[in-house]
Amino acid sequence: MRPVLGIETSCDETAAAVLASNGTVLSELVLSQRDHSAFGGVVPEIAARAHIAHLPAMVAEVMAKAGLGYGDLEAIAATSGPGLIGGLIIGSGFAKGVAIAAGRPFIGINHLEAHALTARLTDGVDFPYLLMLVSGGHCQCVLVEAVGRYRRLGGTIDDAVGEAFDKVAKLLGLGWPGGPGVERLAASGDPRRHALPRPLRGRPGCDFSFSGLKTAVAHIVGAYPPGPLPATDAADIAASFQAAVAAVMADRAAHALTMAPAARSLVVAGGVAANGAIRTALAGEAARAGVQFVAPPLRLCGDNAVMVAWAGIERLRLGATTPITQKPRPRWPLDSPEMAIA
């Protein structure tokens, strides 16, 4: 199999990468947009315009760095959902154009599947394994049985965990995205100062809830006079919030592992997988359950095109490609029938 080009434009990262068939990264680029920080979240139209402005040059650059022409590729893979529809149309449309021009197959990739399969690229994880997918838009436990076969065990009933980090960061006067800022601030705080709730902890199943935790933080912050919080107090709130999230994640992972006794590994993926406290908590649960714990390198936790190209390779190995007429979709559950490979 020849190399595969991957393209990712599902949210506010514009990314392109070229992978050899064995997973070796031949070249990669990620451009993280910063124009959204003033709005406290991603503005879809701004994101789409940035993808249009940067994607063609980025693809040309990764191809040049890999020393390849489009005719040297096996296929072109691009995220086709879920995500912001404007970005999905731009990325998948560009990929389809390249595929048609080069006479190569197109592979429309589910963004969640790309995260789910990253551990197989980085650590050679065997099926089946338990995936905790945690990001700004997603928070769910999934049993990964094979490429294209996913069983959702639980998910958030309100906010995704990354969304909760962003909202708490805003309450604390931090920038966007909030996760890195909260983690940095929490490093100097006392996680025991505030007895914050652990929503659903100890309950059966592995669903999540973070809205009540976010509201509890808002009540603490609201008790202070208007204006910036004292530095020590802000750090203690951040640390207490992060500790509560880590405790909830560990509890939900423990329950999920009992629901998936065949799982050989516990894998965490998505942007929030970069958080050190959450990694440590999940690693402890994996050790107690006697399973392997896997977290991708930090550069592959967020949205990237390496994971998209790798998902394309995994599907190509099974003979799966995508009709050029496939439409991008803002919602695309991992356990939908369309994910199955015949």
Domain contains 120: no
Whether the Cβ atoms of residue 146 and residue 278 lie closer than 8 Å to each other: no
**Do residues 315 and 290 both lie within one domain?**
no
In terms of residues, how long is the chain? 342
DSSP at 201? T
Nearest to 235 by CA among 174, 278, 280, 161: 174
**Do residues 187 and 285 both lie within one domain?**
yes
pLDDT for residue 36: 60
Domain contains 11: yes
**Do residues 232 and 100 both lie within one domain?**
no
- Side-chain half-sphere of 261: how many Cα atoms within 13 Å? 0
**Do residues 141 and 269 both lie within one domain?**
yes
**Do residues 48 and 142 both lie within one domain?**
no
CA distance 335 to 320: 17
**Do residues 240 and 178 both lie within one domain?**
yes
User: Which residue, 279, 296, 313, sits at the end of a domain?
Assistant: 296
Report pTM.
0.95
- Give pLDDT < 70 ranges for the chain: 35-40
Domain contains 179: yes
pLDDT for residue 342: 75
**Do residues 231 and 327 both lie within one domain?**
no
**Do residues 132 and 268 both lie within one domain?**
yes
Q: What are phi and psi of 29, to 5 degrees?
A: -145, 140
The per-residue pLDDT of the chain, averaged, comes to 95
Q: What is the CATH number of the domain that holds 229?
A: 3.30.420.40
Domain contains 205: yes
Q: Domain limits at 243?
A: 127-296
Domain contains 307: yes
Domain contains 75: yes
DSSP at 208? B
**Do residues 170 and 213 both lie within one domain?**
yes
Number of domains the chain is built from: 2
**Do residues 233 and 250 both lie within one domain?**
yes
**Do residues 55 and 182 both lie within one domain?**
no
Please give the torsion angle defined by the CA atoms of residues 210, 159, 212 and 253, in that order, rounded to the nearest 10 degrees: -20
Domain contains 226: yes
User: How far is residue 287 CA from its own chain's centroid?
Assistant: 23
Ordered strands of the 129-134 beta sheet = 149-155, 139-146, 129-134, 265-269, 292-294
Domain contains 121: no
**Do residues 87 and 141 both lie within one domain?**
no
